[in-house]
Amino acid sequence: MFVGLCALLVSLGALLWPPQPARRNVSLIVTGGIVVPMDGAARIINPGAVAVDGRDVVAVDGAAAIAERFASATTIDAAGQIVLPGLINTHTHAPMVLYRGLADDLALMEWLQKYIFPAEAKTVSPEFVRAGTRLAALEMIQSGTTAYADMYYFEEEIAKATKEAGIRGVLGETIIQFPVPDAKTPADGIARATAFIRQWKGDDLIVPAIAPHAMYTLDADTLKQIRAVADRERAPLIIHLAETLDEVKIARDKYKMTPVQFLDSIGLWGDRTLAAHAVHLTPADIQILAKRRVGVSHNPESNMKLASGTAPVLDLQKAGVVVGLGTDGAASNNDLDMFEAMRQAAFLHKLTSKDPRALPAATAVRMATIDGARTLGLDREVGSLEPGKRADLILVSTRGARQTPMYDPISHLVYVARGDDVQTMIVNGKIVMRDRRVLTLDEAAVLDEAVKWSAKVRQAVGR
Amino acid sequence: MFVGLCALLVSLGALLWPPQPARRNVSLIVTGGIVVPMDGAARIINPGAVAVDGRDVVAVDGAAAIAERFASATTIDAAGQIVLPGLINTHTHAPMVLYRGLADDLALMEWLQKYIFPAEAKTVSPEFVRAGTRLAALEMIQSGTTAYADMYYFEEEIAKATKEAGIRGVLGETIIQFPVPDAKTPADGIARATAFIRQWKGDDLIVPAIAPHAMYTLDADTLKQIRAVADRERAPLIIHLAETLDEVKIARDKYKMTPVQFLDSIGLWGDRTLAAHAVHLTPADIQILAKRRVGVSHNPESNMKLASGTAPVLDLQKAGVVVGLGTDGAASNNDLDMFEAMRQAAFLHKLTSKDPRALPAATAVRMATIDGARTLGLDREVGSLEPGKRADLILVSTRGARQTPMYDPISHLVYVARGDDVQTMIVNGKIVMRDRRVLTLDEAAVLDEAVKWSAKVRQAVGR
C-alpha cells in the first residue's frame, strides 16, 4: 500500500516536473493509425497521428510526437486503420448513378440510343440531378472519395448538393452541340457555364469548371469559344478525349488529324485542362499532352466494361503526363468505388504490358491521391497529408478476415481494400462520416428518393 | 365490442373453413427474396422462396406458393436480398491466405524464389495448414463461397478444417517432383494422396482428389501413375495448365508439344479432370480439352496480377468446354472473393474481344455457380437451386447506396455486389452464417491465430 502510494507520487511528479511545454489546442486529432501521408517521401508512420486545426492539417507525425505537441477536445482513435489522404475521382457524371445497371452488356450505340439518351431526355431535370448527386455523394463518402471531377447538366444543382454533402468537387457544366435538358444551343450552354463559374468561384469546396463534351460532339468554333471562357474566368476545362476508335475515325475523316492534334490545332489545350479516358493515342499525341501539361483521367473499369481499349498509362507517365484515376459514371462501371479503380488500374497494366512489376500498388495509390489532385490543379490544397494543406482524409479498416494478415498496408489498400472498409472521413477539417455513419446526408431519405426516380427512369425506357 | 367479437369469429371461421390443405413441415424456409435459381430457365422469382428439408432443396417457387405448401419452425426473411446458389471457387490454395500480400508487384520468379518458396519451406506444417484453412474458410463464408477446389499440402488437415467450417471442398493432395513439406518424393506424395482419398471418400461435404502440380514440375512417369490412382479410386484430378509462356516453352523444348498435347499423349486427360488457368492454348488444344471433357478453371484476377495473359474463355465456351471461375490462392490475387472474379471475368473478356456484349453478367453468374459445379463433377448435387439438390445457397443484400437503384439483379450480382454483401449462407441445409455472424467458426480466434502465423512468415522471409 505504502509502496503503491510512493509509486503514484513519483508518477505524478514525473507528469508535473519538469513542467510540460504548453500543448497547442487544435480542433481534431486522428491518432494511433498507420499513417500514409503520400507527401513524396514514400513513408509510413505507425503508429502515426494527424493534427487538424480548422480546415487545415497542422502536423503529421508519430502518435507520441503529436501527443506531446497538441491537444484537442475531439480525438479519433485510428487503431487498426490506415489513415490516408481522401481519394480523388477525376472523372464521373454524378447524377448518372440513377441509371446504374439500367442496361449492361450492350454495344455502345445500342446502350446510348435505346437507354441512356431516351432516359436522359425524359428524366434529367434540376430535381433529378439533385437526387442523383445526393446518392452519388453518399456512395462516394461511404467509399472514401473526398473530391471528384464531374461533367453533367444543371451543374449548379450538383454544386449545391455536393457542398451540402460536405465533399469537394471540380464541377464542369457540360456543353454539347445538340439540345440538352439545360441548354437548347451550345451558346445557351456557354452562357450557363459562364454564369455558373461566376456564381461559385472562390467557394471553399466547389471549383466551378467548363466541360466541352468531346471533339466529336462540338464544332471547332464552339470549342474555341469554350477555351476563351476558361481562360477569361480562370476555370478548369474538362473534356472527353479519344475514348473510342469511332472518335479517332471522326477526327481523321473530318480533320485529317488525331483528336489530340485537332484540339491542339485549335488551341484547346491549356492550363488546368483535364482529358478523360485518353485511350487511343499515338506517341505524337502523348508528346503534345506532355508539352501542354494536360492532365489525364484514366478510367480502367469503364474502358474494360465498354470495351473501349487500354489507355497507354505507362507511356503517358514515362512522358511526364500526370495521370489520375476515375470511375466514370455509374451507368458504365457500375459504381463509384475508387478502391476498385486502383485495383483495376494495377491489374490492367500488368496484363497489357506483360509485366507483373508494372503499375505497382504505390503508383496506384499515388494516382488516386496526389496525382489526381495535380490533374485538377488542386495539389496545393489536397492530395497528401501535409501541414498547411486542407484536412481531407480517410480512415480505412484492416481488421476483416479478407484483410488478414497484413504485411504491407500499401498492398492492402490496392489489392484487398474496398470502399466499404472506409470507416471515417474528414473533409476540409470537418467529420463527414464517422464509423460508417454519414453525418451530412440523411441516408434513408437519399435512398428513398433514388428509388422513386428509378421508377420514372424505368418508365422512360420501357423496362 | 360485440362487432369486434363477431369479426374475430368470422376471421377464425375463414381460417378453419374450408379446411386448409395439410402443409408439409420442412426444416427451413427462405422467403421473400429475389430468387435466382440458375436452373437453366434463366428465370427470376420475385418474391420467391426456397423450401429446404434436411440437406436438400425440396421446392423453389413464388413466396405465396411455398407458403401454401410448406411450413417450418425456421424461416429466414430474404426481403431486399437476392437468393442464389452458393458460389463455387474452382481454384485456390486455401492456406496461402497466410501469405496474402507478402510480396506483390514482382516478377514471377523473384516472387516465388525470394518469398513464396522460402516461406513455404519454413512455415508449412499441419498446424499452419489448419490455421490457414480456417482463415480461408472464414473469408469464403463471408463472401458467399459454399464450395471450393483446392490444391495444397497436408490436404487431410484442409479437409478437417473445411468440414468443421461447414462448407464443401474438392480437395486435391498436391504431388510435385521435388521434396515438399508433406512428402520427400513424388512416390510419398502418391501414397499420401491415395490414403487421403480412401479416408475421405463418401463424405457428405468433402470430395478427396489428387492434384499433380503441373506438367513442368512432374515427369511423365509420375503423371501416368497419378492418372492411374485417380481412375482406380474414381477421384477427381486437378492440375495447373498452361498458366505461363514458360510452361509452353518447357513443353516445346522437352516434348516438342504443347502442354495440352503432351498431357493428352500420356493419357492424363480423363473424367472429372479440372485444368486451372489454361491461358496459353492453341485451337488444337481447345479441341482436345473439349473432346476429353476437361473442365477449365478461369482465374482472371490472378492472370492479370501476375501478368500471365488472357485465357481464351470465349473460344473454350464456343468449343463446348465448361469453364468455371476461380480466385487462385490469396498470395496472388489477393483475396478469395468470387464476386470480384465474376466482375473481372466480364471486364477482361469484353476488353480482350473488343466487344462489350461478350461475357455478359448472366454468363459470369453461370460460371460462378452451375458451370463451376460441372467442372468439379458436382452438378448433380450443387450449382443451382432445384428440388433434390443439396441446399447450398446465399442471401445477398442489395440495399446499400452503391446498389441503389436496382434495375436488374443479375447485373447487380456481377457489376456492383461484393463478397461483403452476402448476409446469410446455407450449406447442405445448415445455416453457416446468419446476418453476417459466422456460426461454425470463432472469428476472433481464427484471426488471432492467423496474425500469430504471420509473424513466423515475416521471420521466414526477413520482412
Write out the three cell numbers for B198.
480412401
Q: Return the half-sphere exposure (C-beta side, CA atoms, 13 A cut-off) of residue B292.
A: 24
Contact A463 B400 (CB under 8 A): no
Query: Cell triple for residue B378?
Result: 458436382
Least CB-CB distance to A100: which of B108, B356, B405?
A: B405
The mean of the pLDDT values for chain B is: 95
**Angstrom distance (rounded) from CA B103 to CA A245:** 38
CB-based contact, B460 to chain A, within 8 Å: no
What is the least distance, in Å, from the CA of B130 to any CA of chain A?
15
Q: Are A20-85+390-438 and A87-375 equal in CATH topology?
A: no
Predicted confidence band at B20 (pLDDT cuts at 50, 70, 90)?
low
pLDDT tens, residue order, chain A (463 aa) = 444 554 555 555 455 555 566 899 999 999 999 999 999 888 999 999 999 999 999 999 999 999 999 999 999 999 999 999 999 999 999 999 999 999 999 988 888 889 998 999 999 999 999 999 999 999 999 999 999 999 999 999 999 999 999 999 999 999 999 999 999 999 999 999 999 999 999 999 999 999 999 999 999 999 999 999 999 999 999 999 999 999 999 999 999 999 999 999 999 999 899 999 999 999 999 999 999 999 999 999 999 999 999 999 999 999 999 999 999 999 988 999 999 999 999 999 999 999 999 999 999 999 999 999 999 999 999 999 999 999 999 999 999 999 999 999 999 999 999 999 999 999 999 999 999 999 999 999 999 999 999 999 999 998 7
- Give the CA diameter of chain A: 94
A331 vs B contacts (CB less than 8 Å): none
The count of residues in chain A is 463
Beta strands in B153-278 (DSSP E): 168-175, 206-212, 237-241, 273-277
Preceding peptide of B47 cis, ω within 30°: yes
Q: d(Cα A72, Cα A78) in Å, to the nearest integer? A: 15
State the nearest Cα–Cα gap between A226 and chain B, in angstroms.
Answer: 33
Q: What is the three-class DSSP state of B262?
A: helix
Average pLDDT over residues B92-115: 93
Q: How many Cβ atoms sit within 10 Å of the Cβ of residue A388?
A: 9
The reply to whether residue A305 touches residue B346, judged by beta carbons under 8 angstroms, is yes
Distance CA B204, CA A210 (A): 63
Alpha-carbon distances of A374 from A155, A236, A380, B207, rounded to whole Å: 22, 12, 8, 54
Which one of B301, B335, B451 has the shortest CB-CB distance to A402? B335
B337 interface with A at CB cutoff 8 Å: yes
Q: Does B446 touch chain A (CB under 8 A)?
A: yes
The whole-angstrom distance between A410's CA and the closest CA on chain B is: 9
Tell which B residues from 101 to 130 touch A, by Cβ distance under 8 Å.
101-108, 111
The 10 Å Cβ neighbour count of residue A137 is 30
ipTM given for this complex: 0.94
Chain B hits for A106, Cβ within 8 Å: 356-357
Residue B1 pLDDT class (50, 70, 90 cuts): very low
Spans of all domains in chain A:
20-85+390-438, 87-375
User: Is B63 in contact with B76 (CB distance < 8 Å)?
Assistant: no
Q: Check pLDDT > 70 for residue B428.
A: yes
Tell me if chain B has a CB within 8 Å of the CB of A77. no
* CATH class entry, domain B87-375: alpha beta
B 360-379 → A contacts, CB under 8 A:
360-361
Is some CB atom of chain A closer than 8 A to the CB atom of B357? Answer: yes
- For domain B21-85+391-438, give the CATH number: 2.30.40.10
**Which grid coordinates are listed for B85?**
446458389
CA distance, residue A32 to nearest chain B CA (Å)? 19
A336 shares contact with chain B (CB less than 8 Å): yes
A459 touches chain B (CB under 8 A): no
User: CA A214, CA A208: separation in Å to the nearest integer?
Assistant: 18
* A to B CB pairs, distance under 8 Å: 200
Distance (Å, whole) CA A57 – CA A380? 13
User: Could you give the CA distance from residue B299 to residue A289 in angstroms, rounded to a whole number?
Assistant: 36
Tally of helices (H runs) and strands (E runs) in chain A: 18, 19
Cβ-Cβ contacts under 8 Å, A450 against chain B: 404-405
Phi/psi at B173 (5° precision): -65, 125
CB–CB contact A347 B301 (8 Å): yes
**Span A20-85+390-438 CATH architecture:** Roll (2.30)
Structure confidence by residue, pLDDT tens digits, B185-211: 999 999 999 999 999 999 999 999 999
Residue A452: strand, helix, or coil: helix
Spatial distance between the Cα atoms of B101 and A407, rounded to a whole number of angstroms? 6
Beta strands A393-397 and A422-427, pairing class: antiparallel
Indicate yes or no: CB of A307 within 8 angstroms of CB of B354.
yes
**Best mutation target, A243, A404, A457, to test chain B (most B CBs within 10 A):** A404
Sheet with A206-212, side-by-side order of all strands: A87-92, A145-152, A168-175, A206-212, A237-241, A273-277, A295-298, A323-325
Listed in sequence order, the DSSP H helices in A77-125 are: 108-110, 117-123
pLDDT at A1: 42
Take residue B3 and report the three cell numbers written for it.
Answer: 362487432
Q: With beta carbons under 8 A apart, name residues in chain A contacting B310.
A: 351
CB–CB of B334/B98 below 8 Å? no
- The total of other beta-carbon atoms located within 10 Å of residue B377's CB is 17
> Looking at chain B, how many residues does it have?
463
Which chain A residues have a beta carbon less than 8 Å from that of B351? 303-304, 307, 309-310, 348
Closest to B76 (Cα-Cα) out of B312, B394, B405? B394
Q: Do B407 and A111 touch (CB under 8 A)?
A: no
Pick among A44, A89, A104 to test the B interface (most B CBs inside 10 A): A104
CA angle B399/B404/B405 to nearest 5° reads 125
Helix (H) or strand (E) holding B90: strand B87-92
Residue B79 class from Cβ within 10 Å (0-12 exposed, 13-18 middle, 19+ buried)? Answer: exposed
Cβ atoms of A299 and A263 closer than 8 Å: no
Whole-angstrom distance, CA of residue B426 vs CA of residue B166: 9
Mapping DSSP to helix (H, G, I), strand (E, B) and coil, where does residue B146 land? strand
Question: For residue range B341-365, what is the model confidence (pLDDT) as tens digits?
Answer: 999 999 999 999 999 999 999 999 9
The distance of B111 to chain A (nearest Cα, Å) reads 10
Report the pLDDT averaged over residues B36-49: 95
By CB atoms closer than 10 A (0-12, 13-18, 19+), residue A40 is exposed
Nearest to A274 by CA among A233, A345, A202, A325: A325
Q: How far is B402 from chain A (nearest CA, A)?
A: 6
Which set of grid coordinates corresponds to residue A298? Answer: 484514366
How far apart are the C-alpha atoms of B409 and B246, rounded to whole Å?
41
Residue of chain A with shortest Cα separation from B310: A351
Grade residue B463 by pLDDT with cuts at 50, 70 and 90: confident
Q: What is the pTM of this model?
A: 0.95
Matching residue, cell 431486399: B80
Task: State the Cα–Cα distance between residues A352 and A300, nearest whole angstrom.
Answer: 12
- CB contact (8 A) between residue B350 and residue A305: yes
φ, ψ dihedrals at A377, nearest 5°:
65, 25
Tell me if B416 sits within 8 A of A335, measured CB to CB. yes
Give the phi and the psi of residue B70 in degrees, each rounded to 5: -130, 150
What pLDDT sits at residue B109? Answer: 83
* Burial of B432 (C-beta count, 10 Å sphere; 0-12/13-18/19+): buried
Instruction: Specify the higher pLDDT residue, B376 or B21.
Output: B376
Contacting residues of A for B448, CB less than 8 Å apart: none
d(CA A142, CA A341): 15
pLDDT of residue B145: 98
Asked if A401 and B138 come within 8 Å (Cβ–Cβ), the reply is yes
Identify the residue with better confidence: B108 or A144: A144
Which ranges constitute the DSSP H helices of B283-425?
283-291, 300-305, 313-318, 338-353, 361-368, 370-375, 409-415
Query: Under 8 Å CB-to-CB from B233, ≥6 apart: which residues?
Result: B194, B197, B198, B201, B210
Band (B146; pLDDT cuts 50, 70, 90): very high
Per-residue pLDDT at A19: 58
Neighbours of B267 (CB within 10 A): 13
B301 and A416 within 8 Å at the Cβ level: the answer is no
